Amino acid sequence: MQRPIARLAIGSLRRTSCCSCSRAYTTNAQSPHPALTILPDYLDAIEQDVLLRNSLRLLDSPARTNSAGRKRRRDWIKQNPHWDGRRGFMADEAYAWEEGHFDGVIKRYREMLVREGMWASAPPLPDAEQLEAALAKIYSLLPPPATAPPEIPPRSPPSHLILHLLHLASDGAIYPHVDNLEAFGRTIVGVSLGGERVMRFKRSSESAQETGDPGPTEFEVLLEPGSAYIQREPLRTFYTHEVLGMTTWRGRSVGGSQRLSIMLRDRLDRDADA
Ligand SMILES: O=C(O)CCC(=O)C(=O)O
Ligand SMILES: [Fe+2]
């Protein structure tokens, strides 16, 4: 199966010129770099819950699981009859994880591209209105295109952005990489659900003069559930980012539990013209 995202591992970075897009966001005081906005508590508990539940519904749908994966899940549910299927993750052993991404960047994960119409379901969802409101809230993190967007079914990702779900196992991690410059635009938004993780950014060496970057060469941020982050230039192109496994954050241990991120990326301008 073709993997939906291409990430370039640190050894294979190709440079393209830095685009000059600038988005109007308030830079949060917690962010160590002016091109990274962190919005702690962007989603309340109800919004997190509806997004997590529906993201897992899509990842577990028959269209994207095989029969062995479905059996594993059924067996786990049988052995755990008290599990409340309406919320949260099952244990790691209930899921069929991909062991390694084709480009070697991610370990122990499940991932999917969410296309138009996919959030809908038959029969209609009991929480359809809540889901629609929570999705509208996260879609608004990427500014709309200058021209009027075409009509799309309710809840679908607007046509100017690309939406992926990424579910990491408790021992999953994402190694240093730059998201494919040829496949996506220049703004990356991540919405964090589930377990906390630390994200590390590192400026890649040859970029320093190109960008005149005022930020630190390396820094870490805490990705708390319900938070969102927005990466713009020069971070998006000239820094690698990674999501650590177990690590220490301000003297306490962080990581070691499942996390699901909703990733939103803008399309390249050339896609809009296509
Ligand atoms: O999960 C995240 O917040 C980051 C994911 C990521 O770096 C990627 O999908 O390329
Ligand atoms: Fe990435």
pLDDT in tens, 247-260: 999 999 999 999 99
106 lines ligand 1 (CB under 6 A): no
How many A from CA of 130 to the centre of ligand 2?
28
Decide the pairing of beta strands 259-266 and 161-179: antiparallel
C-alpha distance across the termini of the chain, in Å: 25
Among protein residues, the one whose CA lies closest to atom 1 of ligand 1: 261
Q: What pLDDT sits at residue 10?
A: 61
How many A from CA of 260 to the centre of ligand 1?
10
Q: Identify which of 221, 219, 102, 111 has the alpha carbon closest to the alpha carbon of residue 163.
A: 111
Question: What does the block give as tokens for 189?
Answer: 């938004």
Does residue 18 contact residue 210 with C-beta atoms inside 8 Å?
yes
> Residue 249 phi/psi, 5° resolution?
-130, 115
Share of the chain above pLDDT 90, in %: 60
Question: How large is the average pLDDT for residues 30-37?
Answer: 91
- Mean pLDDT value across the chain: 85
Where is pLDDT greater, at 154 or 130? 130
- Which is the closest atom of ligand 1 to the Cα of 229? 3
Q: What pLDDT sits at residue 26?
A: 43
Cβ atoms within 10 Å, residue 151 = 7
Question: 151 falls in which pLDDT band (50, 70, 90)?
Answer: confident
Whether 87 has a pLDDT exceeding 80, the answer reads: no
Cα(172)–Cα(110) distance, integer angstroms: 10
Cα(274)–Cα(268) distance, integer angstroms: 10
Question: 4 falls in which pLDDT band (50, 70, 90)?
Answer: low
Q: Which of 30-34, 136-140, 207-211 has the lowest mean pLDDT?
A: 207-211
- Which DSSP letter does residue 189 get? E
Interval 162-212: pLDDT, tens: 999 999 999 999 999 999 888 888 999 999 999 999 999 999 866 656 678
53 lines ligand 1 (CB under 6 A): no
Question: What does the block give as tokens for 179?
Answer: 């998201």
Q: Identify which of 61, 36, 171 has the alpha carbon closest to the alpha carbon of residue 117.
A: 61
How many A from CA of 132 to the centre of ligand 2?
26
225 lines ligand 1 (CB under 6 A): no
Whether 18 has a pLDDT exceeding 60, the answer reads: no
243 lines ligand 1 (CB under 6 A): yes
- Which is the closest atom of ligand 1 to the Cα of 242? 7
Interval 227-246: pLDDT, tens: 999 999 999 999 999 999 99
Question: How large is the average pLDDT for residues 120-145?
Answer: 88
Cα(104)–Cα(18) distance, integer angstroms: 25
Domains and CATH numbers, the chain: 24-44+98-144+151-273 (2.60.120.590)
How many A from CA of 155 to the centre of ligand 2?
24
How many A from CA of 271 to the centre of ligand 1?
22
Per 3-state DSSP, what percentage of the chain is helix, strand, and coil (rounded to 5)? 25, 30, 45
Q: Sign of the C-alpha dihedral, residues 18, 198, 175, 137?
A: negative
Strand ranges (DSSP E) for the chain?
7-9, 36-39, 98-100, 106-114, 161-179, 188-194, 197-203, 218-223, 228-231, 239-243, 247-249, 252-254, 259-266
Q: Which of 8, 138, 141, 166 to mutate to test the pocket of ligand 1 (most atoms within 8 A of CB)?
A: 166
Where is pLDDT greater, at 48 or 12? 48
190 lines ligand 1 (CB under 6 A): yes
172 lines ligand 1 (CB under 6 A): no
